[in-house]
Structure 1
Amino acid sequence: MAVLLTTWWVWLAAALGLGILEMLVPGFIFLGFAIGAAVTGLALLGPLKLLSVPAILLLFAVISLIAWLILRRVFSLPKGNVKTFNHDINE
């Protein structure tokens, strides 16, 4: 398991899977994790390929949190506004 966590293509495959899952269950939850996995996978291609497993998992967690916070700020409704529907689309 530890060898898989240090392999770049596993992280990119996880990013792809999480991106597909985000398309099926929208809400910008899985997209933050997908961005974190993609950045972690790309980082393992470069100078960070010698990191330990806990450091890689910490990198993934921090990047995922930052991505989720940015997505929440960019795509959320303006503060104080609530989306309401007054009609049924089937009427």
Structure 2
Amino acid sequence: MSLMNGWFWIIAALLLALVEVLLPVWLFLGVAIAVLAMGVLILIGVWTGSFAWALVVTGVLSGIIWLRLRRAMGVQHGQVKIWRTDINDNHP
């Protein structure tokens, strides 16, 4: 079997989603969605490129998805908040 089999990509996406559940850091979710998208593209026959280009496209797509998820979800509980003003400043 070839690495360009869409089912391998979908199984990899499910494993990455499982890692996201175990280690919720939002990184693996973007990668899992990108890998799932590439698997679906391979299965339906849209992607016919090489394995190397599939990895490049998946990497770029995962970065875009991660940025979109980060913007949509915002700062989560437990993350560092940067304060721009001080409570002790008496500015009118």
User: TM-score by structure 2 length?
Assistant: 0.76
**Where does structure 1 lack aligned partners over 5 or more consecutive residues?**
84-91
Number of positions where the alignment pairs a residue of Structure 1 with one of Structure 2: 79
CA-to-aligned-CA distance 1:50-81 (integer Å, 9 cap, x gap): 21112211121111111111111111229xx8
Q: Which has the larger radius of gyration?
A: 2
Distance in 2 of aligned mates of 1:59 and 1:44: 12
Task: Report sequence identity in percent.
Answer: 35
Partner of 1:59: 57
Q: 1:38 aligns with which of 28, 36, 52?
A: 36
C-alpha distance 82-53 of structure 1, shift in aligned 2 (>3 A): same
CA-to-aligned-CA distance 1:25-48 (integer Å, 9 cap, x gap): 001010011001100000101233
Task: Note the 1:12-91 alignment, pairs <5 A.
Answer: 12-77=10-75, 82=81
User: TM-score by structure 1 length?
Assistant: 0.76
Cα root mean square deviation, aligned: 2.2
